[in-house]
């Protein structure tokens, strides 16, 4: 797959097993089923509160969880297949680091957010939050795409998840910010962490791998699979852990309108800035998603449909222009990709 | 992407922004959150009717909405990737016009169907209906695939959405027809509108683009992604806005059986009409879907499982034969594609 | 598509129509809407038990059903696209035999499991069980991939579905085993049946088709679409028909952790056994899924999260090593694929 083959033969297996073993030991020590997942606790709750099985949080949250899960593994996985000689590695490494990130973040988020009497109690919301954290790692992955070995990626994941949980704790619990769709905790954090990692890992001899940065017609199509699935399920991403009822409905609707408006703005900006009015696939990929991020923090507010559209238009426009006129070193690639123009 | 590059540089951005601006102004003037989406109205309803947040329509309709949303953006988007030199444009233009169609149809359907005291009140059902209307536009897109610029496509969408809402109003409200799965309002309307547009837009010099009408092995596989996602979620399409309970369940089941039977009939017909018994991918793509369309109007009726199967078999068979023996100018391409035989 | 073209011209259409006709006749004779699907019976139940439409089983089971449905048609369909000259046939034949299997298994499972007073009553659970049975057939399809005509595949499906229902009846009803995720009834049965069929159908002259067993870069990427969708929705597969409430939640969570741990173990094992530490795509494909199968039987038990991880690690490890060191004739390809190493 990539270079460094001899050391990979041992390093990658050892690191995978070490991290997995550490995770298992910490899970055995600290992680327990919460009151909705443990048979004993749930049946007690059923009796005490005169509830029915259908009042289980699972039936409210599971469809949203599966949408988010699809975004993490299909959306991000295929979004980064556009580098023609790196497509398969992108999907595979995305799979590996997301699979580790969700386990590790259950622990780290648990220690910071739901540590009661020495235990972490997990349920469907823990799974959604773990997927969110994996999203931040994958945004950072985008910034170092094609420049790192799977060993480095696993180590980056290990570190980033810990810092993510810490940053999230400070923002949400200490400073009391609201950020249901994770614009700050997930997208901004992931982008900055990725840029930082990209500098730390920078090795001059890897520059010759630049020729791998081209795309082919088919790798662009694979990348559109990722784009579309991310775009589709963004309303679920922003609403997956908001309060029940009207809040969840409003977040979905605001995100839906913001994304739609952002798409038109992106196509407009992309055709305008490119020579000959050609559309640039990478603009489309990233900027169309800007509409989801921009209402991530404020999704449940009563933005009104036209307010969400205005936010989406601005996000799509600014993001595309930023992509065109700023370079990698800047914050242009908040979406996490190396910018280039499709043929 | 396509020709006309110099004019696209300005025309496409201007049209996108003009349409988006018009949409935002009309939304600001007329569109309001409905009683399930507005925080004030929903909390009033909670108190008045002694409801819980979990009685929110959102929890009943959102999974169906996401299935329909996937059909519109992944299903239709990839269905039309089979033209080898047009694959990427198909997905991208599909994305652009669907993103505009859902916004514009919220307005147009709103004016015709839910205009109360000068305002349009929107909720989860409006989003499903907007996606339905986008479906009709994408069926028409199929009929002009490879022959039109994105500027023309946006203008077509603008016009078609208005006529769609008008036609839907006449059929459902004036004539009182039932058409939950939209066989008449969506599929038939979309196909006829596409044929009409195809004649209006016909420009002889574009005939040399015929060579682009070939498919490659990989573009066929991408198209199967679209086919399979459309097929999978058709039960959700037909049932997304039917009455709760047994009606919704029955529509899903009838569509499931009709689609399965239609698939076998299509494979049979395709192998029979082709030289050497080869299967034709485009037959499979379109005819397998005929099973979903044929029960679209009558889905919630007590068709019985075997009745749904008979409908599916006839739809698959007739649709494949029509595709083989009628030409584009006829109604053969109700599914919306230009017919050709795969290698 | 494949050879035998002249006979296919008649054999395939005749067999499709014959099987579909037989199915329709048996459905007309035996299959009826159950009490949740029939308008009369459901409205009676509404009155008798003071229920609301929202208590309908549909709202609990339908999202899980659609996840399973996606696994069967997208997951299995694209999993087997890796053979470069067989990609399109894999998706198409998968589509054909799954569409027949779901119809035929409604009948066969109905005769064995829900035959009351001469009728089979069908509802949303019947559809999930039918999809499960199709899963077993598709696992067997994997073992004969590239070696069979669609006519043979349909006959295999016809026979396998009957034996599946019989085996399931013996295991679950006679012996009283519990197997909600179908590890025994679906995965083990499907794998053994596939191996058996592979021997019966073995024709020496087809060995020259071995050259078709190669993969290309793009066929590997298509196969990853299948892998990821199977992996994503496996928690839904294992939990789709478990008891409501905590059981369903626990099955989902155990499967989620088992799959994540299995993924790391698989990457470790794959890099270790391959020359130069390269990752083998087929290992990743099959072994990552072993984590779902291994908790299929015991999913609803209180395995604890770390217990599920240990099961996943062992499954991923053993499955990858088995794939490397055993040959096709053995049970190595429980996942259903012909093993080979990616470039």
Residue A196: what pLDDT?
87
Closest CA to A257 of B38, B190, B107: B107
Chain C: residue whose CA lies nearest to A72? C232
What average pLDDT does this structure show over C87-97?
A: 89
Alpha helices in chain C (DSSP H): 5-30, 39-48, 58-70, 76-79, 87-113, 124-143, 150-168, 189-200, 217-239, 246-273, 281-294, 305-325
Closest CA to B296 of B192, B180, B204: B180
According to the CATH classification, is domain B5-30+65-215 in 1.10.3430.10? yes
- Pairing type for strands C115-116 and B119-122 reads unpaired
* Paired residues of B301 in beta bridges: none
Rounded to whole angstroms, the Cα distance separating C127 from C132 reads 9
Q: What is the dihedral of CA A140, A145, A147, A153, to 10 degrees?
A: 50
Smallest Cα distance from C185 to chain B, Å: 23
Of B31, B63, B88, the CB nearest to A305: B31
C134 or B296, greater pLDDT: C134
> What is the per-residue pLDDT across A90-112, written as a single tens digit (0 to 9) for each?
899 999 999 999 999 999 999 99
Of A12, A19, A123, the CB nearest to C277: A12
Residue C337: what pLDDT?
36
A149-188 residues touching C, CB cutoff 8 A: 150
- Pairing type for strands C115-116 and C119-122 reads antiparallel
Q: DSSP characters for B271-293?
A: HHHSGGG---HHHHHHHHHHHHH
- What share of residues in chain A are helix, strand, coil (percent, to 5)? 75, 5, 20
Is residue A342 pLDDT above 50, yes or no? no
> What is the per-residue pLDDT across B154-213, written as a single tens digit (0 to 9) for each?
999 999 999 999 999 998 888 888 777 788 889 889 988 988 888 887 665 544 444 445
Q: How many residues does chain B have?
A: 343
Is C276 part of the contact surface with chain A (CB cutoff 8 Å)?
yes
- Quote the DSSP letter at residue A147: T
> What percent of chain A clears pLDDT 90, i.e. is strictly above it?
45
Positive or negative torsion for Cα C86, C88, C90, C93: negative
Q: Could you tell me the strand order of the sheet in which B119-122 lies? A: B31-33, B119-122, B115-116
A168 or B82, greater pLDDT: A168
Smallest Cα distance from A75 to chain B, Å: 12
Cβ contacts of C53 on chain B, cutoff 8 Å:
243-246
Q: What is the CATH number of domain C31-333?
A: 1.10.3430.10
Q: Do B264 and C150 touch (CB under 8 A)?
A: no
Q: What is the CATH number of domain A25-38+63-335?
A: 1.10.3430.10
Is residue B14 pLDDT above 90, yes or no? yes
Of C225, C260, C272, the CB nearest to A99: C260
Q: DSSP characters for C98-110?
A: HHHHHHHHHHHHH
Rounded to whole angstroms, the Cα distance separating B284 from C39 reads 34
Cβ contacts of B218 on chain C, cutoff 8 Å:
218
C50-69 residues touching B, CB cutoff 8 A: 53-54, 56-59, 62-63, 66, 69
- Quote the DSSP letter at residue A194: H
Smallest Cα distance from A245 to chain B, Å: 5
Residue A69: what pLDDT?
95
> What is the per-residue pLDDT across A152-187, written as a single tens digit (0 to 9) for each?
999 999 999 999 999 999 988 888 887 777 888 898
Rounded to whole angstroms, the Cα distance separating B111 from A187 reads 38
Rounded to whole angstroms, the Cα distance separating A261 from A259 reads 6
A231 or C212, greater pLDDT: A231
Is B245 part of the contact surface with chain C (CB cutoff 8 Å)?
yes
Count Cβ atoms below 10 Å from residue C49 Cβ, excluding itself.
8
Confidence bin at B225 (pLDDT 50/70/90): very high
Grouping H, G, I as helix, E, B as strand and the rest as coil, residue A2 is coil
> What percent of chain B clears pLDDT 90, i.e. is strictly above it?
45
What average pLDDT does this structure show over B133-139?
A: 94
Give the best residue of A75, A236, A263 to mutate against chain B (max B CB count within 10 A): A263
Cβ contacts of C37 on chain B, cutoff 8 Å:
246, 249-250, 253
Residue B195: what pLDDT?
86
Q: Do C313 and A10 touch (CB under 8 A)?
A: no
Is residue B3 pLDDT above 50, yes or no? no
- Which of B143-157, B297-311, C190-204 is predicted least confidently? C190-204
Q: What are phi and psi of B255, to 5 degrees?
A: -65, -40
> What percent of chain C clears pLDDT 70, i.e. is strictly above it?
87
Residue C214: what pLDDT?
59
Is residue C230 pLDDT above 60, yes or no? yes
> What percent of chain C clears pLDDT 90, i.e. is strictly above it?
46
Average pLDDT, whole number, for chain A? Answer: 84
Rounded to whole angstroms, the Cα distance separating B22 from B154 reads 14
In the Cβ-directed half-sphere of A203, how many Cα atoms lie within 13 Å? 9
> What is the per-residue pLDDT across B29-39, written as a single tens digit (0 to 9) for each?
999 999 888 88
Is residue C40 pLDDT above 50, yes or no? yes
Q: Could you tell me the strand order of the sheet in which A31-33 lies? A: A31-33, A119-122, A115-116
* Paired residues of A33 in beta bridges: A122
Chain A: residue whose CA lies nearest to C62? A63
- Residues of C231-240 as b/e, b for ≥16 C-beta within 10 angstroms? bbbbbbbbbb
> What is the per-residue pLDDT across A129-159, written as a single tens digit (0 to 9) for each?
999 999 999 999 988 887 788 999 999 999 9
Q: Could you tell me the strand order of the sheet in which C115-116 lies? A: C31-33, C119-122, C115-116
Rounded to whole angstroms, the Cα distance separating C121 from C30 reads 8
Rounded to whole angstroms, the Cα distance separating C196 from C104 reads 21
Is C201 part of the contact surface with chain B (CB cutoff 8 Å)?
no
Residue B256: what pLDDT?
94
- Quote the DSSP letter at residue B145: T
Residue B340: what pLDDT?
27
Is residue A340 pLDDT above 50, yes or no? no
Q: Do A252 and B58 touch (CB under 8 A)?
A: yes
- Which of A220-224, A232-236, B120-124, B307-311 is predicted least confidently? A220-224
CB B231 within 8 A of CB B259: yes
Count Cβ atoms below 10 Å from residue A331 Cβ, excluding itself.
12
> What is the per-residue pLDDT across B301-334, written as a single tens digit (0 to 9) for each?
878 999 999 999 999 999 888 877 764 433 333 3
Closest CA to C237 of C73, C72, C60: C72
Rounded to whole angstroms, the Cα distance separating B291 from B257 reads 9
Q: Tokens 């109360």 map to which residue?
A: B116
Confidence bin at A215 (pLDDT 50/70/90): low
Smallest Cα distance from A93 to chain C, Å: 10
Is B269 part of the contact surface with chain C (CB cutoff 8 Å)?
yes
Residue B161: what pLDDT?
96
Q: What are phi and psi of C41, to 5 degrees?
A: -65, -40
Using CA atoms, how far residue A212 sits from A2, A84, A219, A340, in Å, is 11, 7, 12, 12
Rounded to whole angstroms, the Cα distance separating B31 from A148 reads 49
Average pLDDT, whole number, for chain B? Answer: 84
Is B271 part of the contact surface with chain C (CB cutoff 8 Å)?
yes
Q: Tokens 């035996």 map to which residue?
A: C30
Rounded to whole angstroms, the Cα distance separating B342 from B34 reads 49
Residue B202: what pLDDT?
65
In the Cβ-directed half-sphere of C203, how many Cα atoms lie within 13 Å? 9
Cβ contacts of B12 on chain A, cutoff 8 Å:
267-268, 271, 277
Is residue B338 pLDDT above 90, yes or no? no
CB B159 within 8 A of CB B127: no
What average pLDDT does this structure show over C154-162?
A: 95
User: CA B320: distance to chain centroid?
Assistant: 20
Grouping H, G, I as helix, E, B as strand and the rest as coil, residue A219 is helix
Burial class (CB in 10 A: 0-12, 13-18, 19+), A200: exposed
Measured at the alpha carbon of residue A134, what is the angle toward residues A129 and A138, in degrees to the nearest 5?
150
Domain boundaries, chain B: 5-30+65-215, 242-343
> What is the per-residue pLDDT across A260-270, written as a single tens digit (0 to 9) for each?
999 999 999 98
Average pLDDT, whole number, for chain C? Answer: 84
Confidence bin at C135 (pLDDT 50/70/90): very high
Is residue A276 pLDDT above 80, yes or no? no
Q: What are phi and psi of A121, to 5 degrees?
A: -100, 125
Residue B324: what pLDDT?
74
Rounded to whole angstroms, the Cα distance separating C52 from B216 reads 52
Q: DSSP characters for C4-51?
A: -HHHHHHHHHHHHHHHHHHHHHHHHHHEEE-TTTSHHHHHHHHHHTT-
Q: What is the ipTM, given to two decimal places?
A: 0.88
> What is the per-residue pLDDT across C274-315, written as a single tens digit (0 to 9) for each?
877 677 788 888 888 899 998 887 767 778 999 999 999 999
Q: Tokens 């839910």 map to which residue?
A: B114
CB A279 within 8 A of CB B2: no
Residue B214: what pLDDT?
59
Is residue A277 pLDDT above 80, yes or no? no
> What is the per-residue pLDDT across A33-50, written as a single tens digit (0 to 9) for each?
998 888 888 888 888 888
- Pairing type for strands B31-33 and B119-122 reads parallel
Residue C119: what pLDDT?
94
Rounded to whole angstroms, the Cα distance separating A128 from C88 reads 35
Residue C207: what pLDDT?
47
Confidence bin at B143 (pLDDT 50/70/90): confident
> Residues with Cβ < 8 Å from A263, sequence gap 6 or more?
A231, A288, A291, A316, B95, B96, B99
Is residue C208 pLDDT above 80, yes or no? no
Rounded to whole angstroms, the Cα distance separating A129 from C289 reads 23
């Amino acid at each position: 797959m990539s270079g460094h083959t001899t050391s990979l033969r041992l390093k990658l297996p050892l690191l995978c097993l070490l991290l997995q073993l550490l995770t298992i030991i910490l899970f055995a020590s600290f992680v327990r089923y919460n009151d909705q997942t443990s048979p004993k606790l749930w049946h007690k709750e059923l009796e005490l509160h005169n509830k029915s099985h259908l009042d289980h949080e699972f039936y409210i949250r599971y469809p949203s969880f599966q949408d988010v899960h699809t975004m993490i593994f299909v959306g991000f996985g295929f979004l980064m297949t556009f580098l023609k000689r790196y497509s398969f590695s992108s999907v595979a490494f995305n799979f590996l680091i997301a699979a580790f990130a969700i386990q590790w973040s259950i622990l780290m988020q648990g220690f910071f957010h739901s540590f009661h009497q020495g235990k972490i109690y997990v349920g469907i919301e823990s799974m959604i939050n773990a997927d969110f954290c994996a999203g931040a790692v994958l945004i950072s992955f985008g910034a170092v795409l094609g420049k790192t070995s799977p060993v480095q990626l696993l180590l980056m994941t290990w570190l980033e998840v810990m810092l993510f949980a810490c940053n999230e704790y400070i923002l949400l619990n200490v400073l009391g910010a609201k950020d249901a769709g994770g614009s700050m905790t997930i997208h901004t954090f992931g982008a900055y962490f990725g840029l930082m990692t990209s500098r730390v890992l920078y090795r001059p001899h890897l520059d010759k791998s630049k020729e791998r940065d081209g795309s082919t017609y088919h790798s662009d199509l694979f990348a559109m699979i990722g784009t579309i699935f991310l775009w589709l399920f963004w309303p679920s991403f922003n609403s997956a852990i908001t309060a029940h009822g009207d809040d969840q409905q409003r977040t979905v609707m605001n995100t839906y309108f913001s994304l739609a408006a952002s798409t038109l703005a992106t196509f407009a900006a992309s055709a305008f800035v490119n020579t000959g009015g050609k559309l640039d696939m990478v603009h489309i990929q990233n900027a169309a998603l800007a509409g989801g991020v921009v209402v991530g923090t404020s999704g449940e507010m009563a933005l009104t449909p036209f307010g969400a559209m205005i936010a989406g238009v601005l996000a799509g426009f600014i993001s595309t222009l930023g992509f065109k006129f700023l370079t990698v070193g800047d914050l242009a690639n908040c979406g996490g990709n190396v910018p280039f123009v499709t043929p």
